[in-house]
Amino acid sequence: MIDALHTFYQKSKQYSDIPNELFHKYNVKKGLRNDDGTGVRVGLTRIADVVGYKYVDEVKTDDEGKLYYRGIELRDIIANISKNQVCGYEETCFLLLFGYLPNREELQDFCKILKDHYELPDDFLETKFLHMPGKNIMNRLQQAVLALYDYDDAADDISVENTLEQGLNILAKLPSIICYAYQSKMHRYNKKSLVIHPVQQKLSIAENILYMLRKDHRFSELEARILDMMLIVHADHGGGNNSTFTNVVISSTGTDIYSSIVGAIGSMKGPRHGGANLKVSSMMKEVIREIGYTDNDVEIKALLYRILNKEFYDCSGLIYGMGHAIYTLSDPRSEVLQGYIEKLAESKHKSNEYEFYQRFERCAKEVIWDVKGIHVSSNVDFYSGFVYEMMGIPEDLYTPLFVTARTVGWLAHNIENKAYDGRIMRPATKYVGAVKEYVKMEER
């Protein structure tokens, strides 16, 4: 059967080929991107803005990277929000959803709403995780979110206010879902001891993740603040990123929020999107295995040239964690991370490792400039895996944590599209195949 499918597919190529020149002839943008790499605009938003270049006399030029949440720059948010108690992510959620910074009472009320939704349904842990552990945590997340639909008496009510309540319910439950999905997987497939901690009403989302994940449920204030900050920097990235766009496209059909978020999670799983942090982690492990934590720039650059020449790691020619589709001169999320990594590295006795990452990044910029003549910066994925590793967070949870953080962004854009667009997304494609007549079976 497999051989037959292979034969069918090979034969189909003569009927399916689309020459590259046709894309230019009909002005079709591959990947919804212009020739200069900028994205084709597909909507309007007041939620977030991603700035990596600007136009001077209609010519695209590189610019310092900036990320705005409701008009407030990410660096400004992190610099001020981190001074408060460890609920910066919750405050960021409020900002993204409602468009303004809450006062103390409003933030307390909002946090209470989230905490009131922390608990999973009574039989959820047993039936969805312990009895049915999954090999892939991201797939298990999709199944768990979709299962919540059956516990919702108004699951198909797609009004803006009901969607908001449903989305917050999903968001509040994600810390339990990702931790229980991981623990049940490790128990079933890796024969590890099963330790389940119930979610704690008194803790923030970041604190609860650390509490439930660790056997001794202990964590430092620094760890909680850094994880809180990680959730903030991943909370949104404009309406054009793949998973947010997927969520809005699905929602535009009039379906429920559960289906929309499940689709977004599927998008996030891909290594070109949310799974990119895993590719960085895997690459750096191979790099360190090959040359160790060397301080020799010549040795590092030699390995980088091998990567670009498709002679090392996965032979793709890509240095994962370097460069971004929008950011050119700098990724603000990466810069924000580096402002905190040093403190964490010192506390974990990993300063030498952090210095190697910084040296590797600098050498990679120089090598890419030498080979390709373009300036790149490290993106958020380059350092995020290293941060998670220092906090003892397993690789299986790198991308699920991204899901936890980004769910508020998906929800905000979902609601904005419902309220101010409301049409089903139906872009057009151009048929470039031949017009043929049906041939009877006996004549084929």
Q: Which residues are catalytic?
A: 324, 381
Question: Which strands, in side-by-side order, build the sheet including 59-69?
Answer: 48-56, 59-69, 72-73
Query: CB atoms < 10 A from the CB of 39, how many?
Result: 18
Nearest residue to 390 (alpha-carbon basis) of 361, 349, 356, 333: 349
Distance separating alpha carbons of residues 147 and 144, to the nearest angstrom: 5
Read off φ and ψ for residue 261, nearest 5 degrees: -70, -35
Tell me how long the chain is: 444
Distance separating alpha carbons of residues 211 and 175, to the nearest angstrom: 10
Distance separating alpha carbons of residues 230 and 222, to the nearest angstrom: 12
Distance separating alpha carbons of residues 244 and 251, to the nearest angstrom: 11
